[in-house]
Structure 1
Amino acid sequence: MSALKYWLWLAELRGLNNQTRLALLRHFGTPEDVFYADTGELLLTEGITREQALALENRDLSAADAILADCQRLNQRILTIQDAEYPGRLKNIYDPPCLLYIRGHLPSFDEEAAVAVVGTRGCTPYGVACAERLGYGLASAGAVVVSGLARGIDAAASRGALLAGGIAVGVAGCGLDVYYPAENRGLYEDIAAAGVLLSEYPPGARPDGRHFPVRNRILSGLSVATLVVEAPERSGALITAGTALEQGRDVFAVPGPIDAPASAGCNRLIQEGAGLVTEAWDLLREYAERFPAKLHREEAREIPRTLGYQARQKKEEPRLVPPSASAAELGLTDDQIVLLRLLDAEEPALVDDLIEQSGIPTRRVLSALTVLEVDDLIRQHSGKRYTRIVSLKE
């Protein structure tokens, strides 16, 4: 922990950019050595300016200590570029972040077929339906779905991955405790439970327009491919696609109507050589031999019609559920049966308690709860707590 304060000092020191920090690490080896170097030694670093060397004379560690305290309070940990767990795939891009804040369980990215799914915030119902379906298909076939946590396409793809019981990864352009946009707070919590949240910004860092294009290099850097689901001609998603190409990654896109402004960027990407995707395996077949133990075409599934965006948009009468019914009558899976029997009709239960009591992996618990809620068999309360609406007959 004591060494981390020097990492945080270097990462948060004003007047430096990430490339300067990386150059200092190459020259000195560790942030602690940078901290104790004098100005003459600092000026020997390739590319450093006198102004930057003078900025490094600020040896105040109070901000670093405050961040360490915040991370402990918020259950976040810090991963540095010199840690063995730091993904080699990300380390090898031009401008890797010196450190990452992490909440959740970090997958072994170098062994995963991770796919960044991006698109416009101002998406259409077509785009949302495609993103959910593809996120679900990618995750069910064994891929890791990476998103930027934005409203629209990013959120829809993440929801699809979570519904499939897969691993979702969210890369934020702010502190992991800030929840931007606010309506995605529940999504943040679900991803932290079933996958991992990442940011190069410390707790409390507010969203800033400059952060998001910078964040995009992490999305594509963690992934073997970037999939653009819906994007107009001017879109941050196209910036991510361009960054992916610069990093030597593959780019795929979902086609849209030729007269749809929201699909103009995707259609142009396809014209310029991006892979055309209409289902998850269109993309994953390119990596099946590279990740034979991870990807399985026979497991790539379509999102159930009762769960998709289009189904939720239908103006239908609420489902009439009897106060008690058998598991067979309700068409429940084994996971859903276990969870429904653990839930009480009056006292809400926390997700963490359900995970502990059931012994079912977190991703499967979240997926089963989502299906039960959509089917009006359970009710969600504030704080991700649940009660049952129907009781099971023995």
Structure 2
Amino acid sequence: MGKEENKIYLVALISAPSINTKSCAKLCHWFGSPRAAWEANDKELKPIFEGKAEAMEQFIHYRKTNTPEKLWAKIETEDVWVTSIEDETYPIPLKTIQDPPLVLFGKGKCLSYEKAVAIVGSRKATYYGKHVAETLARGLSDEGFLIVSGMARGIDTAAHLGALKSNGITTAVLGCGLDIVYPPENRELMERIQKLGTVMSEFPLGTRPESWNFPARNRIISGLCLGVIVVEATEKSGALITVDYALDQGKDVFAVPGPITSPNSAATNQLIKEGAKMVTSTQDILEEYKLPAQVAFKWGEEKPPMNLTPDEQKVFSALGSMPIHGDALVQSLALQASTVQSILLHLELKGLAKQLPGKYFVKSY
């Protein structure tokens, strides 16, 4: 029986509403192949579904209304690639984790994960957290790292954006089917990731982003990588599930320190106390993996943008990664308030500055 046929029947099995990765693996092991599991009669299925009569009925009904060929044809119309654990294109690091996904659905490129790190954290991230995540992702991308995250709001989104701004490669691992954009505001981000990197999921097309999908998703994020960097996390953050998986998988855990008064840094500060490696720059990651810096990267060190007037350059230079109030800018620059306000607006339009609540401004270049 060929790998391609196995893959087609694996997709059919995993697409059944009562089947997940564990139960699919159990079925295939019991019957000897994905096709044999799909074609098993009711009597043969009973020992596998013992005590789960409803799940068995759902599976039997699903087989009556779907065929492996029909399900495979739908995938092909969605321009989705599929790799199974038997394929050479399957990510090598995932083959050694507990309960590896039997199939992965993807859009974009099939990538190598020899030099990948995950950047994860709170969905309700602070400006500090998002800035750090984006900066780390840019710096690590410059050093040739593949950035992996979950395309959630907050830290995940910032990490993907940082990699893309460096023209680096990034992978988004979803907790839903690839035909569903979640969160919906990340549609453009998802399209950009597909062009340079990969959007992948172990969940078949049509799978909704249910809360119970995300812990399973997190084991893939950590499994793909050398290590996991937690940028911000509350004491009950889902990012800590990724940390637990990373530890179980023998991966490195890194954490970014934050203000002791910030709930979003409570878990990262605690992780550092418990032995996680503290990260304050990309150099910390390079030193951990004994890699020489390809690019001399420092926090806040950026090439000045071109085509700015002298006054625009003066205002731009006064901005930094930490928020500064508009009134403080006026006082420090010895310029008219109306002039500073006009320049700040122009810098925002050019994507060089960003206004925060309370009339605070930061550099966004």
Measured against the shorter chain, the TM-score band is 0.7 to 0.9
1:298 to 279, 294, 298: 294
> Measured at CA, do residues 246 and 89 of structure 1 come closer, stay the same or move farther in structure 2, by a change above 3 Å?
same
Q: Give secondary structure in 2 for the equivalent of 1:79.
A: strand
2:18 to 8, 15, 18: 15
Provide the C-alpha distance between the structure 2 equivalents of 1:42 and 1:170, rounded to a whole number of angstroms. Answer: 36
Which aligned pairs between 1:56-205 and structure 2 lie closer than 5 A?
Answer: 57=60, 59-60=63-64, 62=66, 64-109=68-113, 112-205=114-207
More off after superposition, 237-246 vs 300-309: 300-309
The CA deviation at 1:186 is 1.2
Provide the C-alpha distance between the structure 2 equivalents of 1:73 and 1:313, rounded to a whole number of angstroms. Answer: 47
Task: Work out whether residues 91 and 111 of structure 2, in 8 Å CA contact, stay in contact via their aligned partners in 1.
Answer: no
Task: Work out whether residues 118 and 237 of structure 1, in 8 Å CA contact, stay in contact via their aligned partners in 2.
Answer: yes
Provide the C-alpha distance between the structure 2 equivalents of 1:35 and 1:8, rounded to a whole number of angstroms. Answer: 11
The CA deviation at 1:151 is 0.8
Task: Work out whether residues 253 and 277 of structure 2, in 8 Å CA contact, stay in contact via their aligned partners in 1.
Answer: yes
Provide the C-alpha distance between the structure 1 equivalents of 2:85 and 2:96, rounded to a whole number of angstroms. Answer: 11
**TM-score w.r.t. length of structure 2:** 0.77
Provide the C-alpha distance between the structure 1 equivalents of 2:323 and 2:65, rounded to a whole number of angstroms. Answer: 52
> Measured at CA, do residues 79 and 310 of structure 1 come closer, stay the same or move farther in structure 2, by a change above 3 Å?
farther
The CA deviation at 1:65 is 4.5
Name structure 2 gaps, 5 residues minimum. 306-315, 327-340, 354-365
Task: Work out whether residues 319 and 375 of structure 1, in 8 Å CA contact, stay in contact via their aligned partners in 2.
Answer: no
Task: Work out whether residues 12 and 71 of structure 2, in 8 Å CA contact, stay in contact via their aligned partners in 1.
Answer: no
Which aligned pairs between 1:42-57 and structure 2 lie closer than 5 A?
Answer: 51=53, 57=60
Identify the residue that residue 258 of structure 2 maps to in structure 1. Answer: 256
Task: Work out whether residues 281 and 300 of structure 1, in 8 Å CA contact, stay in contact via their aligned partners in 2.
Answer: no
The CA deviation at 1:243 is 1.2
> Measured at CA, do residues 313 and 179 of structure 1 come closer, stay the same or move farther in structure 2, by a change above 3 Å?
farther
Task: Work out whether residues 131 and 321 of structure 2, in 8 Å CA contact, stay in contact via their aligned partners in 1.
Answer: no
The CA RMSD measured in Å over matched residues stands at 3.1
Provide the C-alpha distance between the structure 1 equivalents of 2:352 and 2:88, rounded to a whole number of angstroms. Answer: 44
- What does the per-residue CA deviation read over 1:200-247, in whole Å, with 9 as the maximum and x for residues that have no partner? 122232211111111101100111101000011110011111111111
Tell me: higher relative CO, structure 1 or 2? Use CA pairs within 8 A at least 6 residues apart: 1
1:34 to 33, 37, 40: 37
Provide the C-alpha distance between the structure 1 equivalents of 2:274 and 2:322, rounded to a whole number of angstroms. Answer: 35
Provide the C-alpha distance between the structure 2 equivalents of 1:71 and 1:160, rounded to a whole number of angstroms. Answer: 30
Name structure 1 gaps, 5 residues minimum. 289-294, 322-371, 377-394
Provide the C-alpha distance between the structure 2 equivalents of 1:36 and 1:96, rounded to a whole number of angstroms. Answer: 24
